[in-house]
Chains A and B, each alone.
Chain A
């Protein structure tokens, strides 16, 4: 199955700033997804990253706050913009394996906003 490298693994950021999280896949995946996992909670889908076009956002998430890029089949970024303490969370990317093994996840980015 695919292997996803996600970075940074963690960061502490000032309120009002932005952080860009990167995910690199070692093989082509058909779909890429970005999730948020708040402390002690399950995963909430932010958006589906579409290659070469605008991401598809879930209810409650907007492009101005979480701009996403996917320039090719193996790379995607999520930016958390104008951060507030409420954005403190773990952010995870995921790819749907082209060969049908399932969905692989990056190791996550633990974000703390102060």
Chain B
């Protein structure tokens, strides 16, 4: 079956530090890959996505590249801010119909300090 493995948190960084959150996946076929962010007390928001190999998703300074050869979709940001403190979820969807459901990683909590 499909699965997503994320690096464990929490990750604590100083403001303006470089961020990498690793994500690897296992899936049949060619999945679409997503990063979602959950701010404290809120629901999930789509941060970025990529639908095919070598696609780069980007949003709000965050980037992730769909690497088929390494089955990875690592999230990066060059300079984090305190407002980026949240939980980040890597996810994939593959197939059609009910098989198109999202499979989530365990989430990585990011804490950015001044």
Seen from chain A, the residues whose Cβ lies within 8 Å of a Cβ on chain B are 1, 6, 31, 33, 41-43, 45, 48, 50, 56, 92, 94, 96, 101-108
Contact = CB atoms under 8 A, between A and B. Distances in A.
Nearest to A1: B46
A102 B100 contact: no
Please indicate which of the listed interface residues B34, B49, B102, B106 has the most CB atoms of chain A within 10 Å of its own CB: B102
B46 A103 contact: yes
Interface residues of B, number: 20
A104 B101 contact: no
B44 A42 contact: no
Interface of B: 32, 34, 36, 42-46, 49, 89, 93, 97-98, 100-102, 104-107
A85 B40 CA distance: 22
A96 B89 contact: no
